[in-house]
Amino acid sequence: MPNDPSNAKATATGSPPAPLQRRAAGWGAHWHGCALDSAFQPVLSITHQRVVGYEALLRVTDESGHTVAPADLFATVEGAEAQQLDALARCLHLANFVEQRVETGWIFLNTLPRSARAADPAQAAIDGLCRHFDFPHERVVIEVLEQRGGDEHSSFVDERAPAGGRDFLVALDDFGAGFSNFDRVWRYRPDIVKLDRSLVTRAASGESHVAFISELVSILHHAGTMVLAEGVETEPQLMVLMQADVDLVQGFWFGEPQASVRAASAAAPALAQSMWRRFADYQRSTEIIEQVNFGALSHAMLCGARVLTGGGTLEAAAEAIFGDGSSHAQRVFTADEHGEQHEPSIAMPGVGRPARFAPFYPDTNSNWSRREYFRRALAAPGTVAVMGPHYSLSDGELCYTAAIALDYGGATHVLCADFPPEHGPRERPWRKPG
């Protein structure tokens, strides 16, 4: 049986925090006149359709009974005192979690970056807590809070290999907000990166944001980490995150933080089971839009292709594409089978070239072989490939590009047309299988 939490020592140095107190709803603590309590929120795996962990959150009440934001409490302390408060919170959370006899899943425990200094290594701190509570190391996720980069120290992480050297998991919180950036990913080599709720909110607000989140998740996956999106409050947000291949989610849509782990996650199983049905409906509605838009784009591109294969000029092909009002094309160009552009792009009448992009003009001798739309067009000659949105080197705006590979003049060419996102196919970002 676990030891009495009221005697727990929560720091690697062995100095005990203020003792925990037994309360009706579990264990609590006091810090400089404030009452500290635990709340828990479920973390779900989209793939596994179930709760796989719980984030422990600090609840603070002052002497007048008013709620105090944990960040405001931590802002009043620094140095060794901040480390003591940080350690006390982890001890309190684990005491309450163990008491509720939650037999499976991770517990996410927040920590300040500066509490992970070499003099107070995270492994030793977790060893002490897990030994006292008889709790498995592998069920602990240490969640490193976002903080100004100059205040962080990560020696406990970057002296080990990514796949070994610690038996607990590390998560980086608030990625994409404040001072949180990829430098923290390289230094901490986390198992999980938590996308800040501001990214989640933006993700469901526009096509360009959807594409951005998808690419961000892909980059983080290639960096060797799982991606968790926090602050999921609506079904549209969840649908976008599922489309972006996010691994884990948490937020009010699945359950609000509560002192009771089981109460906090009571609604989550049914919602998890319904996620994929909702997503299938979302995909079907998206595909209808895609079919309509792809049909219009394909028609315009095929009109231009017939001009070129019939011996016409690029100017004539562009006029055919621009003349099909459903395409909303901004510019047209061609490249040879090696991706080389030999003729200048032709812009739709009224579409200018920003002066700040003057160094990119003329755009002849450009090479587009790295672009996915070019490769996909070559792989399926005669078929229109559409990719995007991506950054346009012609005007600095986001655009989609349609491309089709053709044989004329004794060689293979790829006809391409750029068009703005608002007239794009709303295509789900294509990724290689596997």
The 3-class SS string of 202-261 reads HHCCCHHHHHHHHHHHHHHHHCCCEEEECCCCCHHHHHHHHHCCCCEECCCCCCCCECCH
Q: Radius of gyration (Cα) for the chain, nearest Å?
A: 27
Q: How far is CA 309 from the centre of its chain?
A: 44
What is the band of 165 on the pLDDT scale with cuts at 50, 70, 90?
low
In this predicted structure, the answer to whether residue 434 has a pLDDT above a threshold of 80 is: no
Range with the poorest average pLDDT among 79-83, 147-151, 226-230, 360-364: 147-151
In this predicted structure, the answer to whether residue 292 has a pLDDT above a threshold of 70 is: no
Q: What is the pLDDT of residue 307?
A: 97
In this predicted structure, the answer to whether residue 175 has a pLDDT above a threshold of 70 is: yes
- Under 8 Å between Cβ of 193 and 220: yes
Domain 5-266 annotated CATH 3.20.20.450: yes
Range with the poorest average pLDDT among 176-180, 241-245, 339-343: 176-180
347-368: pLDDT as tens digits: 999 888 889 899 999 999 999 9
What separation in angstroms does the CA of 47 have from each of 187, 246, 287, 434? 28, 9, 22, 14
Phi, psi of 221 (to 5 degrees): -60, -40
In this predicted structure, the answer to whether residue 150 has a pLDDT above a threshold of 50 is: no
In this predicted structure, the answer to whether residue 96 has a pLDDT above a threshold of 80 is: yes
Domain boundaries, the chain: 5-266, 291-423
Domain 291-423 annotated CATH 3.30.450.20: yes
Of all residues in the chain, what percent carry a pLDDT higher than 70? 82
192-218: pLDDT as tens digits: 999 988 888 887 776 557 778 888 999
| More confident: 124 or 85 | 85
What separation in angstroms does the CA of 212 have from each of 91, 196, 243? 38, 14, 12
Q: What is the pLDDT of residue 5?
A: 63
Which of 75-89, 154-168, 417-431 is most confident? 75-89
Q: What is the pLDDT of residue 391?
A: 85
Distance CA 429, CA 362 (A): 30
Q: What is the pLDDT of residue 293?
A: 62
Across the range 227-238, mean pLDDT stands at 94
Of all residues in the chain, what percent carry a pLDDT higher than 90? 56
What is the band of 425 on the pLDDT scale with cuts at 50, 70, 90?
low
Residue 418 token pair: 């750029």
Distance CA 7, CA 21 (A): 10
